[in-house]
Amino acid sequence: MIILFLLIAGNAFFLNLVLPWWSAALPGLFFGYRMNVTPIRAFGMGFFAVFLAWGAHATYVHMASNGVLSSRMAELFGLTQDWILIVITAVIGGLLSGFATLTSSLLAHSRNKK
Amino acid sequence: MKYLPFSLSLAAGLALIWVLSNRWGNIPPMGPFMDPDGGFWAQAERQPPSNLNDQLLGLMDSVQVFFDDRRVPHVFAQNDHDLYFMQGFLQARDRLFQMEMQTYDAAGRLSELIGPSLAERDRQSRRWGMVFGAEKAVAEVQKHEPSWTIFKAYSAGVNAFISSLEPEQYPLEYKLLDIAPEPWNPLKTALLLKNMTRTLAAGNSDVSHSNTLAYFGPEFIEQFFDTDHDLLDPIIPASRVWDFERVPVRRPDTLFVPKVARSIQPFPVPEGIGSNNWAVSGEKTASGYPILSNDPHLRLTLPSIWYEIQLHAPGVNTYGVSLLGAPGVVIGFNEQVAWGVTNVASDVLDWYEIRFENEKKDRYWHDEQWKPTSKRIEEIHVRGGETIIDTVVYTHHGPVSEVSSAITNGQSTDGQRNDGQSTDGQVGSTEPIYHALRWIAHEPSNEIRAFYQLNRAKNYDEYVEALTHYQAPAQNFVFASSDGDIALWVNGRFPNKWDGQGRTVSDGTDPLYDWQGWIPREHHPSIKNPERGFVSSANQESTAPDYPYYMDDVYAPFERGRRINERLSELENITKEDMQALLMDNYSYHAAEILPSMLSWIQTDSLNATQSEVLDSLRTWNYYNNASYRAPSVFRSWWYELYGAILDDEYDADFPLRTPARDRLVQQLKEDSNFWMVDNRSTEAVETIEDQATRSFISALNDLTEAYGVWSDDWDWGWVMNNDIPHLTQTNGLGVNDLYSSGGAESVNATRGSSGPSWRMIVELGPEIKAWGVYPGGASGNPGSPNYDHMIESWRTGKLYELPFFKEPPVGSAMSAGQESKSLVTWSLRP
């Protein structure tokens, strides 16, 4: 299980470097099909894997740039703390991946019911 | 049924992607925008720029660019083409969004990017013929091969940068607005220059002046608008003798009385637009060589309106600030000369009341005959809205606006009011009123050629020749050379008008109201090496009243100009530090003139203890608008209240009227403190100036208390002047707020809320030119770069940076990385 989790997280991170934002859904779609878990766990794994990948990426950018832009964007969105922006980034990636993983694990479930 | 959970999950996932892909209101598409790799995070600068050794397609020869520690590029090219190609490339790299916004604005296309909220501004831009003017300029530029070459080279450079961009590399604002850059072309450069003309030379009070004349009568005009302030010290010293006869013009016997119009002036010009420049001769300086200084005052935005650059190629080596979207240096210096500009408030925009044959507007009456109009169909594409089709009718004067419909469509909703307030019974008329616009921006011109030559000028004569190509917006071009010359030309193209022509709305049917030619260049106001040892300008009147031509009556109050001239007269052995102190001079001539009177008028027995304490702070004030003083805050509020108490009752009309200039009203009050306007007409009692001064003082303190709490450091002028520098789009988070600043509208340091010195420059001429400068911003237009706003603190505190001006490539052609100067980043580019 932990391997699938890391595979989703790692692939999401690297795919995002070459593909647009929606690539966060691809590893979940691929690995979710091979995941024999409850729907809630499938969603959770997908979600937290990319939450971690995107969150770590955004955290790195935030730190490496001394927060110059993230503090401006936080003000733009009316946020009181810069880190909320990182959380929002991570949640967006997480949701994409969560639904992707859930969708493909449900597909696997449905097919196996035959 | 067994696929139902799957289908639901799939649908939810797809719906999520759809929601995240789209812009909702002002919220950018959150999926791409928050993407940690390609979204806004990509604009967070993680490393400073580094050396580069690469090919750049489009160059003709190799080019070196050195970025100094403020990231100002110093371009060393082998030919003009590559020089301006690189300027375009670098400006786009640092400021692409700004370049596009300015030209979309000029072209009346903002609603394409932003949406319906800007459709009205776009419509006005079209009706003002901005594109019409820009197209004429491009046709003119094409007639001069070298100019056309640099226009094209500059465009190619911008496009080389744009085409190198992947969507994730788009500047932040493109991601926020979910838009993409479009290719640059020479028309856009022309549009940018028209935008400057609109900013600086669209001021006019034709309608309000006509109304004021009709409402208050000619004596009022004479008293408040024809009379100069006693302390006015014109730009060209009054001692200048005009030894020529003016070119005559025919004038009408009686002045046309236009229909009273209620239109609100589009594009109002706030007092924030103004500037200072001066040059002192070597006789007055410690070095023995002239020193020149310039600080153009504009609305302050991030990114800054200016872009600092050094341009070096065979035949040219110049440094200074350039405009985003135009090749060349606008304010700066080269190895022999320096120059700077301030705005000339000459009247180069007139409105003509037009009589159409019928509502088809195919013909209009002029010179005793019906003449055909032409029509230009304007299509305004609106993001998220329907395309607006607007037919703009052109007469020989220029494009026509319907002023009464502007009322019903525009800001005021009571366009049909009929309350008979006017003196000649025309207000409330429901028939449409048409005004045609005659404007210098519609004349063919090629300002870039002027800057091209100025950048290469070696002496006074070449400066003068360069200026002949400059038309609008008219500027006071100050000049100094290492030969020891100082000079100032009031420069631009000025219509040769009869006295007062175009001050009111003109008769569009009578050729005597047409512009009858131009003031010949040799008659333009100018001065070279005057006896007093300096030249200066601060937007005040160009000349003493004996100048034979009429130019306008709307100039800046006397205050800044007089202060500069007094300081420059007193100073000897002038150094850069003296000039720097003068740039930051906060003295308020306005307060010095009127505050003693206001203090003498106030009835102290009606004040409470706190009010008396505040009053005492005014009594001991030295009239400097320093950030740490509270007195400037109190004085400003008190003056505004008093001004309102005196004028508001007389000016209670629902059509625009012209109000007296600040300095003129001050003088009137000092001469006759109980003149007829002082009494409030809407009350039974007859108010004296003592009543008005006391009441307005108390009222000012109440306002200040409401806004800033009890009398404390929160009343410091530094806060109360409310100096914010917003982003171009006014987007929260992208600007800088609450800069604790000194200065004021009437001070040489004209910093006030969100406008003021947009570039401060001092140049010391001589065998080795030395120069200093600062602007509130940074080279980079990227809000994710620390360079974006890094100079603001220096600007706020009056610090200047020494400008590194290289005569040859600083690191040599056979340079190896990081050898000679560690602080320089080097680009070596080859075709």
Chain B interface includes A49 (CB < 8 A): no
Residue B212 domain-assigned? Answer: no
Question: Considering the domain boundaries, does residue B257 fall inside one?
Answer: no
Instruction: Tell me the torsion sign for CA atoms B475, B297, B310, B534.
Output: positive
CA B434/CA B508 separation, integer angstroms: 10
How distant is the alpha carbon of residue B135 from its chain centre? 22
Residue B649 placed within a domain: yes
Instruction: State how far the alpha carbon of B577 is from the alpha carbons of A53, B70, B534, B751, B812, in Å.
Output: 55, 22, 17, 19, 33
Q: What residues of B are in contact with residue A54 (Cβ under 8 Å)? A: 36
> In the block, which residue shows the tokens 């979600």?
A47
Identify the pLDDT of residue B260.
65
Place of tokens 């309608």: B207
Instruction: Tell me how far CA of residue B402 lies from CA of B428, B593, B750, in angstroms.
Output: 15, 43, 37
- Phi then psi for residue B759, to 5 deg, are -165, 125
Give, as one character, the DSSP assignment of residue B302: B
Interface test with A, best of B9, B178, B730 (most A CBs within 10 A): B9
Which residues does chain A have within 8 Å of residue B34's beta carbon, measured at their own beta carbons?
Answer: 21, 88-89, 92
Q: What is the mean pLDDT of chain B?
A: 91
User: How distant is the Cα of B737 from the closest Cα of chain A, in angstroms?
Assistant: 12
HSE value, Cβ hemisphere, 13 Å, CA-based, for B147: 23
What is the pLDDT averaged over residues B240-252?
94
A110 and B32: CB-CB below 8 Å? Answer: no
Q: What is the DSSP string of B382-410?
A: -TTSPPEEEEEEE-SS-BEEEHHHHHHHS
Q: B36, A54: Cβ pair inside 8 Å?
A: yes
CB contact under 8 A, B32 and A95: no
Q: How close A65 comes to chain B (CA, Å)?
A: 5
Q: Which residue out of B2, B6, B785 would a mutagenesis test of the A interface target, given it has the greatest number of A Cβ atoms within 10 Å?
A: B6
Residue with tokens 């005057």: B530
Instruction: With beta carbons under 8 A apart, name residues in chain B contacting A66.
Output: 786
Please report which confidence band the pLDDT of residue B556 belongs to, taking 50, 70 and 90 as the band edges. Answer: confident
Cross-chain residue pair A68–B786, CB shorter than 8 Å = yes
Query: pLDDT digits over B742-795, tens only?
Result: 999 999 999 988 899 999 999 999 999 999 999 999 999 999 999 999 999 999
Residue B580: burial class (beta carbons within 10 Å; 0-12, 13-18, 19+):
middle
CB pairs under 8 A between A and B: 114
Nearest to B44 among A70, A74, A113 (CB): A70
pLDDT of B228 reads 82
In this complex, do A21 and B43 lie within 8 Å of one another by their Cβ atoms?
no
B410 touches chain A (CB under 8 A): no
B304 within domain boundaries: no
Pairing label, strands B337-343, B475-481: antiparallel
From the list A20, A75, A102, the residue facing B9 with the nearest CB is A102
pLDDT at B102 over 50: yes
Q: Could you give the angle at the alpha carbon of B362 between the alpha carbons of B360 and B366, nearest 5°? A: 125
What's the mean pLDDT in B647-660? 87
Q: Which of B451-455, B590-594, B653-657, B658-662 has the lowest mean pLDDT?
A: B653-657
**What CA–CA distance (Å, rounded) separates B783 from B180?**
18
pLDDT tens digits, one per residue of B705-738: 999 999 999 999 999 999 999 999 999 999 999 9
User: What's the CA gap between B80 and B315, in Å, rounded?
Assistant: 9
pLDDT tens profile B257-306: 888 665 544 444 455 567 999 999 999 999 999 999 999 999 999 999 99
Mean pLDDT of B645-670: 88
Chain B closest-CA separation from residue A104 CA (Å): 7
pLDDT confidence of residue B822: 58
Q: Count the alpha carbons within 13 Å of B680 in the hemisphere toward its beta carbon.
A: 17
Nearest beta carbon to residue A76 from set B10, B731, B786? B731
Per-residue pLDDT band at B411 (split at 50, 70, 90): very low
Task: Give residue B72's domain range.
Answer: 19-111+124-199
pTM of the model: 0.93
Residue-wise DSSP of B227-286: SPPTT---SS-TT----SPPPP----SS---PPP--PPPSS---TT-EEEEEEE-GGGBS
Rounded mean pLDDT, B73-83: 98
**pLDDT(B410) > 90:** no
Mean pLDDT (whole number) for B500-510: 94
Report d(CA B756, CA B739) in Å as an integer.
Answer: 13
Distance CA B501, CA B512 (A): 10
Confidence of residue B250 (pLDDT cuts 50, 70, 90): very high
Instruction: Assess if residue B106 is contained within a domain.
Output: yes
Q: What is the 3-state secondary structure (H, E, C) of B124-157?
A: HHHHCCHHHHHHHHHHHHHCCHHHHHHHHHHHHH
Q: Is B211 helix (H, G, I), strand (E, B) or coil?
A: helix
Within a domain: residue B52? yes
Judged by a CB distance cut-off of 8 A, whether residue B614 touches chain A is no
Q: Write down which residue in B700, B715, B730 finishes a domain.
A: B715
**Which of the listed residues B715, B735, B760 is the one where a domain comes to its end?**
B715
Residue in chain A closest to B788 (alpha carbons) equals A68
Residue A9, chain B, CB below 8 Å: the answer is no
What CA–CA distance (Å, rounded) separates B760 from B772?
8
Q: Does A23 touch chain B (CB under 8 A)?
A: no
Q: What is the spatial distance between Cα B771 and Cα B329, in angstroms, rounded to a whole number?
A: 15
Choose the mutation target among A60, A70, A76 for the interface with B, i.e. most B CBs under 10 Å. Answer: A76
Domain end marker among B157, B177, B199: B199
Tell me the mean pLDDT in the region B492-510. 95
For an interface test with A, the pick among B26, B34, B173 (most A C-beta atoms closer than 10 Å) comes out as: B34
Contact A75 B17 (CB under 8 A): no
* DSSP designation for B118: G
Predicted ipTM of the assembly: 0.96
Name the residue among B747, B760, B730, B812 with its Cα closest to residue B110. B730
State how many domains chain B has. Answer: 2
CATH number at residue B170: 1.10.439.10
Alpha-carbon distance B209 to B611, whole Å?
39
Q: Are B526 and B490 in contact (CB under 8 A)?
A: yes
Q: How many CA atoms lie within 13 A of B677 on its CB side?
A: 22
**Does B686 touch chain A if contact means CB atoms closer than 8 Å?**
no
**B649 pLDDT exceeds 70?**
yes
Q: What CA–CA distance (Å, rounded) separates B140 from B134?
A: 10
Confidence bin at B812 (pLDDT 50/70/90): low
